[in-house]
């Protein structure tokens, strides 16, 4: 069995374990979706009991788990009590919206952080490095929530950008190009919030990795041979600094589905965040489990991508694994 097959089996087992725990904790938590109905005098206890029976909530936990697994195998991922539809159709739309936002934000954050981290590492101790460090410290100390609120405030005051949602009213009637512009303008605030929130951590990690490699004896030896500039950066420094960064990239991929929940709620982006919040408050347990499982899948996939990248990038890992 090769390395990749082992990792896939490991991932599937991990997903199964997470599903058991998630299901058990979700179901054993006090209260369920129909508890609020009991407070409504217009709905009789018999009706509530009938509904509980219809959705199988009154059945024992192992049986409910078995039914949920069966629905996962059918591709439905359980049933949403609130939306009265299979969880899969709900998740697919919301996960698509979230991925559109987070993929763009992650890509932008890496595209900005990579040159910035390399630059500040090369300029260690100079004014531009200090400025970069001060900037990242400031951004690190400001919570995501505050960044989002400041950007929303600016959007409301200047009317330059839409302050919430994913598309404007009458989006369907617009032409292709206008639709694209409308979507892009709605993306600016949530994406900028995510970029600004993740940028300091990425820049600092990249700076630290590059700094460590710049001080490595083989880079010093290369310098002593007169190797410098772009050749030193691309043939020596970046490939060596890529090892810790591939793990960081794995984490970024892992957080694609779960890293933007709060920002989505604040900026009104119709992604997984608002769905998960509503489902948690309403105890729509299958939706919560489905969302957690999807996030776990991304976490596992991200960690696998990081491991595969490490094997591809570092001959020492390749030699060690053979």
Partner 1 sequence: MKTEEAAQRARTPAHIRAVGLSKSYVQRAPFSHKKFAIDALLDVQLEVSPATLTALVGESGSGKSTLARCLAMLEKPDCGEIWFEGKEISRSGSWELAWLRPKIQMIHQDSAGALNPRFTAAQVIAEPLEIQRRESGPKLRSRVCELMEEVGLPANWADRRPLELSGGQRQRLAIARAIALKPAFLILDESLSGLDLSTQAQILNLLLDLQKAHSLTYLLISHDLSLVEQVADFVAVMHQGRMVEHGAGQDIFGSPRHAHTRELLGSVRLVESAFRAAQAGGQQ
- Contacts with partner 1, residue ranges (CB under 8 A): 216-218, 220-227, 231, 235-236, 239-240, 314-316, 319
Name the token pair of 154. Answer: 């600016």
CB 242 → partner 1: shortest distance, Å? 10
CB 319 → partner 1: shortest distance, Å? 6
Query: Which residues, 6+ apart, have CB-to-CB distance to 238 below 8 Å?
Result: 118, 210
Distance CA 247, CA 227 (A): 28
| Of 201 and 238, CB closest to partner 1 | 238
Q: What is the CA radius of gyration of the chain?
A: 24
| Of 159 and 225, CB closest to partner 1 | 225
Residues forming beta bridges with residue 85, ordered by sequence position: 80
CB 238 → partner 1: shortest distance, Å? 11
| Buried b / exposed e along 275-312 (16+ C-beta atoms within 10 A) | bbeebeebbbbbbbbbbbbbbbbbbbbbbbbbbebbbe
Cβ atoms of residues 120 and 132 within 8 Å:
yes
Cβ atoms of residues 151 and 193 within 8 Å:
yes
| Of 74 and 223, CB closest to partner 1 | 223
CB 315 → partner 1: shortest distance, Å? 6
| Of 69 and 232, CB closest to partner 1 | 232
CB 107 → partner 1: shortest distance, Å? 26
- The CB density around residue 68, as the number of other CB atoms within 10 Å, is 24
| Of 134 and 154, CB closest to partner 1 | 134
């Amino acid at each position: 069995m090769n390395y990749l097959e082992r990792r896939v089996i490991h991932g599937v087992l991990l997903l199964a374990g997470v599903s058991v725990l998630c299901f058990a904790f979700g179901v054993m938590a006090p209260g369920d979706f129909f508890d609020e109905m009991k407070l409504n005098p217009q709905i009789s206890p018999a009706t509530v009991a009938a509904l509980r029976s219809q959705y199988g909530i009154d059945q024992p936990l192992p049986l409910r788990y078995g039914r949920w697994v069966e629905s996962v195998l059918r591709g439905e991922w359980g049933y949403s009590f609130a939306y009265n539809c299979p969880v899969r159709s709900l998740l697919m739309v919301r996960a698509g919206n979230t991925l559109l936002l987070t993929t763009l934000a992650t890509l932008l954050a890496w595209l900005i952080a990579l040159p910035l981290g390399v630059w500040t590492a090369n300029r260690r101790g100079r004014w531009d490095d200090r400025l970069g460090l001060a900037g990242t410290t400031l951004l690190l100390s400001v919570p995501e929530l505050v960044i989002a609120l400041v950007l929303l405030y600016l959007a409301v005051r200047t009317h330059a950008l839409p302050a919430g949602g994913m598309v404007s009213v009458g989006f369907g009637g617009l032409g292709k190009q206008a639709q694209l512009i409308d979507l892009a303008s709605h993306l600016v605030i949530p994406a900028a919030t995510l970029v600004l929130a993740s940028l300091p951590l990425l820049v600092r990690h990249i700076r630290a990795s590059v700094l460590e490699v710049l001080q490595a004896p083989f880079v010093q030896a290369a310098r002593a041979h007169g190797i410098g500039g772009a050749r030193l950066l691309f043939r020596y420094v970046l490939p060596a600094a890529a090892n810790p960064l591939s793990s960081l990239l794995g984490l970024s991929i892992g957080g694609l589905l779960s890293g933007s929940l709060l920002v989505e709620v604040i900026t009104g982006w119709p992604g997984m965040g608002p769905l998960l919040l509503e489902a948690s408050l309403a105890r729509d347990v299958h939706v919560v489990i489905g969302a957690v499982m999807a996030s776990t899948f991304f976490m596992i996939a991200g960690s696998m991508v990081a491991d595969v990248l490490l094997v591809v990038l570092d001959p020492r890992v390749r030699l060690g694994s053979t």
